[in-house]
Amino acid sequence: MFITMVCFIFLLLCLPLLSQSIMLKPFEQVYVKQDDIIASAGKETWKARDGATWTRRERGVLRQDRLFHSKRFLPCDEVLGFRESEKGHVIVQTRCGQSEFWFQKIRLADKARHYEEIAARHDRHGFIADTRGGQRVSNDNDGLWTAMYAAAKLFEYAATGSKEALTRAERATRAVLFLEQITGTPGYPARSYIDPSEEKPKDGFWYWTPDQKHEFKSDTSSDESVGHFLLFGLAWDLLPRGELRDQVRETCRRQMDYILQHGYHLIDPKTGKPTRWGKWSPAYFDGEGREDSPLNSVELMSFLRTTEHVTGDAKYGAEMKKVAEELGYLKIAGLLKQRRIELNYSDEELAMLSFYPLIRYEKNPQYREAILKAMDDWFENERREKNPLWNAIYELGRGENRQLRRASVETLERMPLDLRKWRVENSWRKELPLAPGADRFGRRETTVLLPADERAVMKWNSNPFTLDGGGDPISEDDGTTFLLPYWMGRYHKLWTE
C-alpha cells in the first residue's frame, strides 16, 4: 500500500513533465508604419498581390478575418482607401494620414526578445515599473509585477542557460527582497519605495526610513505577498547556489513568520493594525472577508507549503496541517461558487499564482486533490479567456490539454508588438453580443473574447471582455504578460522552439 501511494504521488508530481511538447511554428506577425501623408481616396476594397482582401469597415479596416483599428494601427479610423507599395505591403489611407501594413514570419522567441527590450525600459531600482508621461514611476504593486518578471527570467535561465536572463532575474529578485529590508521591520515588506529625487504618488501611506534616504509605501497588500512567495519558491529552485539564494530562503522565512506571529495578518508596523488586504485569519473569513476566504485560504496554504519547501523546516508543514484541517482552510478553498459575489479578474490572478506553488510542492494526495478541485472552480470562468498563463498553470495541475495549449499559443501570437496604452473602442461593433450586465466597475462587456491585438493593452488582472479601454499612449505595459507564460511553457516543455 505504501509503495502504491508513493508511486501515485510521484506520478502526480511528474505528470507535467510527461506531456509531449508541441513544436512552435513561425507565424505571421503584423508590422505597421504610420505617417501623416494625406492622399486622395483609393479603392474601398483591395485584393493584394499576396491574395489577401482588404475591406473598409465602419471604423478601421478588415484584412480577411482580422480587424485593424485604433491608433495602434491607424492615424484615425476613417479609412478612405487602399494602395500597394510592393508585394505584401498595403497602404491604408485614412482622413488623418496613412499606415503601411506588412506581415513577416517570425517565431515566439523573436517576440520574446522584442518584449525584453520593452521591459528593459521599465527598470527602476531593479523593479519593472509603470511609466507615466514617459517616466518610470512607483506603483502599488511594484513587488508583484517585479516578482512576475523575475519568475519569467528564472524560467528562461532554467530553459536556456542564458547568462543575460540570469543577470536580469537576479537584479529583479534583489529589488523584491529589498522591499522587506527597507521597512526596518523583519518580515514586513513595503509595497514600493522612492528616493528623494523621485515624485511621490499622492495616494497611500508613506514613511521615511530611519536614515532619511528613502520613503517606502506601506499598507502592503496580499498581492505583494502572493508575488513574493511565488518568487521565493522559483528562486530557491532555479537560482545557482550562493548568497542571493540564501537571502531568498531567510527572507521567505521572515515573511512567513511575520504573518504567523500576528495571527495570519500583515501588521503595519506604524499603525499596529492589519493592512487593508493583508488578512488571512478565521475571524476575517467569518466577517467582512467571507467573499475573500476561498482565495485567501489558497494563498495562506501556498505561502506555508512554499516556506516549508524553501527552508526545509517542518514547523511550516505542521502549521499547514493545522490551517488545512483544524481551521478548515482546505474546505473553504473549495467554496468559491458559494461565496463569490462578483467576478474579480484581479482575484483570478492571485488565485492562479498561488495555485502554481501548491501544484509544485504539495505532496499530500488528499490535499492535492482538494486543491485541484478548487482550481477547477476558478478555471470554469478562466477557460474562456484563452489566457496563456492560467492555461499553463491549469495544465500543469490537471495534465496534458492540447486544446488549452493551442489557445495559449494563439493568444501569444496575437499580442500586439506595440504595448502603448492606446485608446481602443469596440462598443461600436454591432456584431459583438453584449453581456447582460456591466462588470464590477460598471463597464460594458461582450461575451466574445476578442483577439489580444483588437482590445486595449492590459495586464492579466484585468477584464479581457470589456469593450473599451486604454487612453494613455505615452505609457506602455512592460511585456511581462507575454514573457511569463511564454517562458513558463518553455521551462515546463509545454512548447519548444
Contact 8, 365 (CB under 8 A): yes
Residue with cell 453584449: 434
Query: Rounded to whole angstroms, what are the CA distances from 243 to 131, 158, 170, 310, 371?
Result: 32, 19, 11, 14, 34
What's residue 19's pLDDT? 54
Amino acid at position 383, single letter: R
Closest CA to 295 of 221, 363, 365: 221
Classify burial at 346, counting beta carbons within 10 Å of its beta carbon; exposed 0-12, middle 13-18, buried 19 or more: middle
Rounded Cα distance between 302 and 162, Å, is 29
Using only C-alpha atoms, the chain has a radius of gyration, in whole angstroms, of: 24
Contact call for residues 214 and 244 (beta carbons, < 8 A): no
Amino acid 242: pLDDT: 97
CB 414 within 8 Å of CB 451: yes
pLDDT digits (tens), the chain, 497 positions: 333 343 434 434 444 444 589 999 999 999 999 998 887 666 778 888 888 999 999 999 999 999 999 999 999 999 999 988 887 899 999 999 999 999 999 999 999 999 999 999 999 999 999 988 778 999 999 999 999 999 999 999 999 999 999 999 999 999 999 999 999 999 999 999 999 999 899 899 999 998 889 999 999 999 999 999 999 999 999 999 999 999 999 999 999 999 999 999 999 999 999 999 999 999 999 999 999 999 999 999 999 999 999 999 999 999 999 999 999 999 999 999 999 999 999 999 999 999 999 999 999 999 999 999 999 999 999 999 999 999 999 999 999 999 999 999 999 999 999 999 999 999 999 999 999 999 999 999 999 999 999 999 999 999 999 999 999 899 999 999 999 999 999 999 999 99
* Residue-level pLDDT at 38: 82
Helix, strand, coil shares of the chain as percentages rounded to 5? 45, 20, 35
**For residue 437, how many other CB atoms are within 10 A of its CB?**
8
Kindly give, in sequence order, each residue whose CB lies less than 8 Å from that of residue 456, ignoring residues fewer than 6 positions away. 421, 422, 423, 424, 466, 468, 469, 470
Give the model's pLDDT for residue 48: 86
* DSSP character at residue 452: G
> Of 183, 315, 311, which is closest to residue 247 (Cα–Cα)?
311
Q: Which fold has domain 107-496?
A: Glycosyltransferase (1.50.10)
Three-class SS state of 60 = coil
User: Are 256 and 316 contacting, i.e. CB atoms less than 8 angstroms apart?
Assistant: yes
The label of the residue with cell 511538447 reads: 21
**pTM as predicted:** 0.94
Please report, for the chain, the start and end positions of each structural domain, with discontinuous segments joined by +. Answer: 27-105, 107-496
Strands (E), 261-396: 265-267, 274-279
The C-alpha atoms of residue 89 and residue 56 are separated, in whole angstroms, by 17
N-terminal to C-terminal alpha carbon distance within the chain? 42
Question: What's phi and psi for 103, nearest 5 deg?
Answer: -120, 140
Read off φ and ψ for residue 333, nearest 5 degrees. Answer: -60, -25
| Cβ burial 252-290 (10 Å sphere, 16+ → b, else e) | bbbbbbbbbebebbbbbeeeeebbebbbbbbebbeeebe
